[in-house]
Amino acid sequence: MEAALILLVATVAALVAGWSRERVLRKSGEERNRRDLEEQRARRDAELREQAQRTSALFDRMVEGLIVVDGGGRIRLANRAAKTLFGFDGPGGGKTILEATRNHEVAAVVARLDRELEVLGHELRIDSMDSPRFLQVNALALRDAAGANDGAIVVFHDLTRLRQLEGVRQEFVANVSHELRTPLSLIKSAAETLIDGAKDDPAALARFLTIIDKHANRLALLIDDLLLLSTLDSGGLRLDRQALPIRSTVQDAMDDLQQRAQARDVKLENAVPASLLMVADNDRIRQVVSNLIDNAIKYGRAGGKTVVGGCVLADGRIEVTVTDDGPGIASDAQARIFERFYRVDKARSREQGGTGLGLAIVKHVVQAHGGEVRIESEPGSGSKFILNFPGLPAPR
Ligand code: ADP
């Protein structure tokens, strides 16, 4: 009897021990599973965060502005370019596109997506910044798997630079046409006067032929300058670079212009040291120096002096200067003087046979040599054009 009792207790004890071990094992298994799940979730969250950061960094690097809205028209994502274009800070999340961009046209484009699914090439002008900006807007409706409205993607291409270039081109064409028409109409009216009878008067004949010759020369000069600028613009100018004794290049330019200088009683002085060398295209540098000396003669003081100097600067670069003692150039005009067809005094320039392209050519040719040009001038006390070129390469 006692033995049977002992056996029963032992069996119950064994069963209880077995159950509790099983419970302990089950509990620790659940704990492990929970920990595994939490680790997996944390890993997934970190991956998703990293992916979101990568995506947002990628979007922020886009030149185009990008806004993604949800089905309720509220902003889900806006990249840096979009925020800059519309001047809003922060993620923009939660705001409607109208609240974030403060632009009714953009909101209207997004609203059109209810009917059209995509809007392509909508052009938009925004005036909220310092200067107007021109944008092209492309928008695409998003649909979920069931085809329900899931928001939209709106992309903004900035066309401002393109529009500015178009404006420059149109202005240039208008200027060229005007510049060509002026001498052409003078040639035509002189020819008509001759045909109408002036040819029978020897004095009138000589006078009108001189007019025709003068304006035909002006047309030829203008066309030469335009062709050169077009070659410079297309990067097609081939420079024949060689070691150049600058003094002799300057002297050649001065010799060519001596007669014109004498006609205005302008003294030309070549103060470039004979030892000064640079690596450059002789013909092009001569043209640059010629344009500057020619201007100094044309716009400087009659009876004045023009000096061309040169030196090696402390940083090894080479400086060439053309200085006159004329009326100088006002500071607002100095900022524009290298623009094509810009003239301080239009009538004076035309009367002197100027094309309005001389300084634009100077700037381009100097830049093609890796140099820069600037002007120092005080109205009333002359002008100094300063050319700065790369120095000679170090001997090997
Ligand atoms: P242009 O054919 O009219 O001479 P440029 O491009 O050479 O054209 O010069 C542009 C304008 O800059 C000139 O029309 C003139 O008004 C002004 N300019 C150029 N050089 C001088 C100078 N040395 N002194 C005063 N004005 C100058």
Q: Is the pLDDT of residue 2 over 70?
A: no
- Outline where the chain has alpha helix (H): 2-61, 80-86, 97-101, 104-116, 160-195, 202-233, 246-263, 282-299, 331-334, 346-351, 358-368
CATH topology of domain 63-158: Beta-Lactamase (3.30.450)
Residue located via tokens 């202005």: 171
Percent of the chain with pLDDT over 70: 92
Calculate the average pLDDT of the chain: 89
7 CB-contact burial (10 Å; exposed 0-12 / middle 13-18 / buried 19+):
exposed
Atom of ligand 1 nearest to the CA of 322: 23
- Tell me the percentage of the chain whose pLDDT exceeds 90: 65
3 pLDDT higher than 60: no
Cα 305 from Cα 378, distance rounded (Å): 16
Indicate whether residue 304 lines ligand 1 (CB < 6 A).
Answer: no
Question: Does the beta carbon of 349 sit less than 6 angstroms from any atom of ligand 1?
Answer: yes
Q: Among 70-74, 208-212, 315-319, 372-376, which stretch is predicted with the lowest mean pLDDT?
A: 70-74
Residue 12 has pLDDT above 80, yes or no: no
- Measured distance CA(199)–CA(65) in Å, rounded: 68
Residue 23 has pLDDT above 70, yes or no: no
| CB 370 within 8 Å of CB 239 | no
300 within ligand 1 shell (Cβ under 6 A): yes
Q: Which whole-number Å values give the CA distances from 301 to 260, 270, 304, 324, in the listed order?
A: 13, 18, 5, 8
Q: What is the DSSP string of 281-339?
A: EHHHHHHHHHHHHHHHHHHS-TT-EEEEEEEE-TTS-EEEEEEE-SS---HHHHTTTTS
- Give the C-alpha separation, 133 to 165, whole Å: 13
Is the pLDDT reported for residue 58 higher than 70? Answer: yes
What residues are paired with 309 via a beta bridge? 271, 321
Distance 281 CA to ligand 1 centre (A): 24
Characterize the bridge pairing of strands 267-271 and 305-312: parallel
Report CA(27)–ligand 1 centroid distance (Å): 94
Ligand 1, atom nearest to 300 Cα: 24
* pLDDT class of 21 with cuts at 50, 70, 90: low
Report the alpha-carbon distance of residue 147 to residue 75 in Å, rounded: 20
Pocket test for ligand 1, best of 260, 288, 299 (most atoms within 8 A of CB): 299
Q: Are 205 and 183 in contact (CB under 8 A)?
A: no
| Ligand 1 centroid, distance to 353 Cα (angstroms) | 11
The answer to whether 152 and 113 are in contact (CB under 8 A) is yes
| Rounded-to-integer distance, Cα 385 and Cα 286, Å | 15
Question: In terms of Cα–Cα distance, which of 167, 166, 65 is closest to 124?
Answer: 65
pLDDT above 90: residue 9:
no
Q: Please state which architecture CATH assigns to domain 166-235.
A: Orthogonal Bundle (1.10)
Task: Answer yes or no: are the C-beta atoms of 354 and 260 closer than 8 Å.
Answer: no
Contact predicate 365/240, CB 8 Å: no
CA 263 to ligand 1 center in whole angstroms: 18
Count of other CB atoms within 10 angstroms of residue 166: 12
- The CATH classification number of 237-396 equals 3.30.565.10
Pocket test for ligand 1, best of 219, 349, 363 (most atoms within 8 A of CB): 349
CA of 372 to the centre of ligand 1 (A): 18
Q: Which of 45, 78, 44, 50 is nearest to 64 (CA)?
A: 78
Both tokens of 324, joined, read: 């006159």
CA 259 distance to own-chain centroid: 42
pLDDT in tens, 85-133: 888 876 656 889 999 888 999 999 999 998 888 999 999 998 866 788 8
Cβ pair 138, 121 in contact under 8 A: yes
Residue 149: count of CB within 10 angstroms of its CB:
15
The confidence band for 369, taking pLDDT boundaries of 50, 70 and 90, is very high
Indicate whether 356 pLDDT > 70: yes
Beta-carbon contacts of residue 134 (< 8 Å; ≥ 6 apart): 123, 124, 125, 158, 159, 160, 162, 163
